[in-house]
Structure 1
Amino acid sequence: MSDEVQEPIVGRKSFAAVAINCAAKAGEWIKTKLGSYVSLNMKFSQHDLVTEIDKGSETMIRNLIMTHFPDHSFLGEEGVEPGPNASLEALDNMKEAEYLWIVDPIDGTTNFVHGFPFFVVSIALAHKGEIILGVVYDPSRDELFIAEKGKGAYVHGRRMRVSQEKAVHESLLATGFPADHQQALPLNMKQLQSVAPKARNIRASGSAALHMAYVAAGRLSGFWEMGLHPWDLAAGSLLIQESGGRVTGLNGEAYHLGIKDVVATSGDIHDELLKLLKEAGK
């Protein structure tokens, strides 16, 4: 009999347990800091903020994950230099990683700073570039959204399904205003002018991850935004896909970690919404 100690095999259930624990602990700590941050700094623009709470949340999550999975790679928002292309460069540097955790410690920092309760912790795990786990935790409402590849998506332990609207005119949609004021924001304004008259209504609440979780839960029919990063989208993309929805780039290409301009819907309205957005860009 060999004296060698066999390393335990870690399955997806353990991945999910760790992600849930990380999101819950970070989220509850963030909630206790609401209204009491000390430092506030701008990154790319006045719309792109960071506090010591963002950094503390990311450190907490990273330490917890690395305790369980020291051989895994980690991509967190606060560990990447600001700027529109920095996230893609960081992602490229990690393209050989077998397991990559992708984390936004507070998605919706501007909301957090102003005490507007629409911010979340977003944690995703990619295996060889494919998202296999996504967790979005909203501490303000104590709602945890989770999806595992091939196993469905859940909130409050209940299976999520996307909304059943068949057309944009029946749909409640959401968007986000880009930090890039030179090109992306003017285009976003044109998109709003194109889509708003056709939709039932549009919301812009300041957290891409939570908007995507709401699409997965059927609370929104669709969401689009430009200039996002892997940590904004990774967890939410799996939530939507596992709830029966569709996630693509603005040109209709299937979602991948390099997508920055995203369209996410229940599926039935996807082509119609894409057409409206493309027409606005002409």
Structure 2
Amino acid sequence: MAAISGLIRVMERAARKAGGRLRRDFGEVEHLQVSRKGPADFVSKADRIAERTLYDELRQARPDWGFVMEEAGVIEGDPDQPRWIVDPLDGTSNFLHGIPHFAVSIAAQEPKLGGGGWGEVVAGVVYQPITDETFWAEKSRGAWLHDGRLRVSARARLPDALIATGIPFQGHGDFGEWGRIFGAIGPEVAGIRRYGAASLDLAWVAAGRFDGFWESGLSDWDTAAGCLLVREAGGFVSDYRGRSQPIHSAQVLAANDSLHSKLHKLLVSSLR
């Protein structure tokens, strides 16, 4: 096992603290389903509290670092220091409906050398509070689930592959584009799954549970940690044109090397 760095320890401690509160709040969602007010306001509060917990923990550990957060937005730090990219509750709709599939996602991104923007993601943690699973990765040090090394699946044939995706929903995403991609990929693979938390989809690609993943219209906090996990587990991540960036959110296609090229060919042909 790789020695866990101080940075990963900081990230995991913050994720576990926020995740513990989410786990307790999740136990109340079932009771709120039948209340007159409904659970939406409660979940929004749970999301904000989790984000505040992450902010306080990470700020205390690295006071000069900035933040990109789902609820609070961009909080500037020292431009010469890294920044945190945080999603306190990825899978909000699942949480809202009592579905035990959601995660806390934290990534650390370095500034570009010489200034002018942001560069590589150097560390990522995706924590699933219900299963108590911590997926983590550091650049050039591999991807891990607790103390076990992660590798993307070795499947090379599309008919054997289980692929994850995110489906557009009310007010979000391009239904026409997604339908064309699904129409091209669906008949060629063993199955397609939609579980509703992109950070976990990518973590599961890194763990070999899924063989690939595609989605568009996400945000950096959904995918920053997951992109690093897949790459450090030996996989490939690109946009729909095959280009590689530190973070893919507008378009993301992830898989092992063999399946990535095959999925990319199907995807590109579907969008012509």
Q: TM-score range by the shorter chain?
A: 0.7 to 0.9
Identify which range, 58-67 or 32-41, moves more after superposition: 32-41
Quick one: distance in 2 between partners of 1:281 and 1:158? Answer: 39
Residues 1:73 and 2:66 are matched in the alignment: yes
Secondary structure class of the residue paired with 2:187: coil
**Equivalents in 2 of 1:266, 1:140: separation in Å?**
27
- 1:197-230 per-position Cα deviation (integer Å, ceiling 9, x unaligned): 0001000000000000000000010000000111
Q: Give 2:40's aligned residue.
A: 40
Pairing of 1:49-88 with structure 2 (within 5 A): 51-80=44-73
Q: State the alpha-carbon separation in 2 of the partners of residues 200 and 230 from structure 1.
A: 29
Normalising to structure 2: TM-score of the pair? 0.87
Matched residue SS, 1:110 = helix
Selected match of 2:220 from 226, 230, 237: 230
1:19-57 Cα offsets, whole Å, 9 max, x none, are: 00011111111010015367626xxxxxxx961111110
1:266 maps onto 2:253 in alignment: no
Within the alignment, does 1:213 sit opposite 2:203 as a pair?
yes
Structure 2 residue runs of 5 or longer lacking an equivalent are 30-37, 112-118
Same amino acid, percent of matched pairs: 37
| Deviations 1:244-280 (CA, angstroms, capped at 9, x unpaired) | 0001111111033364110011221111101111122
In the superposition, the TM-score normalised over structure 1's length comes to 0.84
- Is the deviation greater in 251-260 or in 112-121? 251-260
Go from structure 1 to structure 2 and tell me whether the alpha carbon gap of 1:71 and 1:268 turns closer, same or farther (over 3 Å shift).
same
Please give the alpha-carbon distance, in whole angstroms, between the structure 2 residues aligned to 1:182 and 1:107: 15
Stretch of structure 1 that moved more, 154-163 or 28-37? 28-37
Contact 2:65-2:77 within 8 A present in 1 as well: no
- 1:136–1:209 CA contact under 8 A, matched in 2: yes
- The aligned residue for residue 145 of structure 1 is 135
Aligned residues: 254
2:82 to 79, 84, 99: 99
Equivalent position SS for 2:107: strand
Residue 279 of structure 1 corresponds to which residue in structure 2?
269
8 Å CA contact 1:230–1:259 kept in 2: the answer is: yes
The aligned counterpart of 1:83 is none
1:201 aligned residue (181, 186, 191): 191
Indicate yes or no: 2:7 matched with 1:15: yes
Q: Which moved more, 1:198-207 or 1:26-35?
A: 26-35
For 2:135 and 2:85, the matched residues in 1 are separated by: 16
Q: Once the 2 structures are TM-superposed, how far is the Cα of residue 185 of structure 1 from its aligned partner?
A: 2.1
Q: After superposition, where does 1:249-260 map in structure 2 within 5 Å?
A: 249-257=239-247, 259-260=249-250
- Residue aligned with 2:188, SS: coil
Compute the displacement of 1:178 (Å).
2.8
SS in 2 for 1:268: helix
- Matched residue SS, 2:179: helix
Mapped partners of 1:220, 1:19: distance in 2: 25
SS at match of 2:214: strand
Match of 1:120 in 2: 103
Q: Distance in 2 between matches of 1:155 and 1:39?
A: 32
1:115 aligned partner, one-letter code: G
Q: Residue 7 of structure 1 corresponds to which residue in structure 2?
A: none
Q: Which residue does the alignment assign to 2:148?
A: 158
- CA spacing shift, 1:95–1:203, aligned 2, 3 Å: farther
Question: What value does the CA root-mean-square deviation take over the aligned residues?
Answer: 2.2
* Structure 1, gaps ≥5 residues long: 1-11, 42-48, 81-89
2:102–2:200: 8 Å Cα contact kept in structure 1? yes
- Say whether 1:27 aligns with 2:19: yes
